Homo-oligomer: A and B are copies of this chain.
Amino acid sequence: MKIILDGMGGDNAPASVVEGAILASKEIEHQILIIGKEELINKELKKYKYDENKILVADATEVISNDDAPVRAVRSKKDSSIVKGINMVKSGEGDVFISAGSTGALLAGGLFILGRIQGIDRPALACIYPIVGGNPSLLVDAGANADCKPNNLLEFGIMGNIYMEKVIGRTNPKVGLVNIGSEAAKGSTLTKAAYNLLEQSDMNFIGNVEAREVPKGACDVIVTDGFTGNVLLKLTEGMAWNILQVLKRKFTEGTKAKIGAALLLDKIKGLKKEFDYSEYGGAPILGVKGPIVKMHGSSSANAVKNTILKAIPYAEGKIVDIIQNSVLEIEEITLSEYDKF
């Protein structure tokens, strides 16, 4: 297997990307090809000892930044690491493309270069959602589609269910729909219709899940539109940050508190670690005809390493083919809705 790694994406590129590749290469037998400005990448590589048969470099002279308009950038910057990297997956030269670059560009690249899986209306970003004191959930869609239709939410559920089962290894995952009430009749026009579709699927659909229950790990696959999903993810991040900041402040007020905090230091660090995205690997863009994994923009070398390690079962598991086969179910459910009229 050959893993294509974007050397130019993210805040700490290429330094942490290269370091992450080196770390990962020590644990796997697969090849890692780093794509980007060759000179810069080689300069970073020189800092390390590594197996030259396992870490390769390919040149890409252009860079797509977060400020670029995604669609235009993908169409015009043909020699960028993102466009070239995704093309390598298309041609079969690589098996998976990993990048900490612009989500919009990765999505646009996936759509234009690889294309949608037939029958999937909207690809989605599936993101690991940290559960403090428990196994993480998977959030689909985490922000790729701000406006959704009911069948999109069904697709997100089916794709997320497959990823959770085949890649993360959770048997018979509980699939929940984010809603503002627990009863089937509650919610927006979108969630009410999506509920009906999800209920007809073969998945272990547990119904509506209120946002209050999400951080407690109420479901394994959290289905929601990209707007709500992004709000969920970012609010969780903001709340965790905020509470930890306030604890830090409170726990350093006065000598008594300082002694108490010193005794609890390892516990507090443990809590912080549970919110640390770098442990969990990246977020796959599900629904395009090839594996693309998006990493957090501020990914550390350790996060890059973990993303590489977790991308292997994703690419090996032929998830794209499995999703392709599940499309029949989606079509049957959405067609059955038409029968009602």
A-to-B contact residues, CB < 8 Å: 132-133, 143, 146-147, 178, 180, 187-191, 210-216, 226-228, 230-243, 245-247, 249-251, 253, 256-257, 259-264, 267, 270-271, 274
Give the complex CA separation of A256 and B77 in angstroms. Answer: 58
B227 touches A187 (CB 8 A): yes
Chain B residues with Cβ below 8 Å from A187 are 146, 227
Asked whether A250 lies within 8 Å of B234 as measured between CB atoms, the reply is no
- Determine the residue in chain B with the shortest Cβ distance to A275: B243
A188-B231 Cα distance, complex, nearest whole Å:
12
CB distance from A85 to the nearest CB of B (A): 24
A260 / chain B contacts, CB cutoff of 8 Å:
259-264, 267
* A227 contact set on B, CB distance < 8 A: 180, 187-188, 191, 228
B contact residues around A247 at 8 Å (CB): 271
Would you call A239 and B215 a contact (CB within 8 A)?
Answer: yes
Task: Compute how far the CA of A234 lies from the CA of B270 in the bound complex, rounded to whole angstroms.
Answer: 25
- Across the interface, do A147 and B267 meet the contact criterion of CB distance under 8 Å? no
Copies in the complex: 2
A147 engages B188 (CB within 8 Å):
yes
Can you add 14 more A-B contacts, CB < 8 Å, to A187-B227, A240-B243, A259-B260? A146-B191, A180-B226, A191-B227, A211-B230, A211-B231, A211-B233, A212-B235, A228-B231, A232-B235, A239-B240, A250-B270, A257-B264, A261-B264, A263-B263
5 contacts between A and B (CB under 8 A): A147-B190, A212-B234, A228-B228, A247-B271, A250-B271
CA distance A215 to B243 in the complex (A): 9
- Complex: how many Å from CA A212 to CA B235? 5
Alpha-carbon distance between A230 and B213 when the two chains are bound, in angstroms: 13
- A238, B267: Cβ atoms closer than 8 Å: no
- Least CB distance from A313 to B in Å reads 29
A212's partner among B191, B238, B261 (CB-CB below 8 A) is: B238
Q: Is the CB of A231 within 8 A of B230?
A: no
Which B residues lie within 8 Å of A213 (CB)?
A: 238
CB-CB under 8 A from A210, the residues of chain B are: 234
Residue of B nearest to A210 (CB): B234
Task: Decide: B243 and A132 in contact? CB cutoff 8 A.
Answer: yes
- Given A232-B235, A261-B264, verify A242-B271 contact (CB < 8 Å): no
Chain B residues closer than 8 Å to A132, beta-carbon distance: 242-243, 246
Alpha-carbon distance A334/B263, docked complex (angstroms): 59
The residues of B that contact A257 with a CB separation of less than 8 Å are 263-264, 267
A212 and B270 CA atoms in complex are apart in Å by 22
CA of A257 to CA of B261, assembled, Å: 9
A180–B267 CB distance below 8 A: no
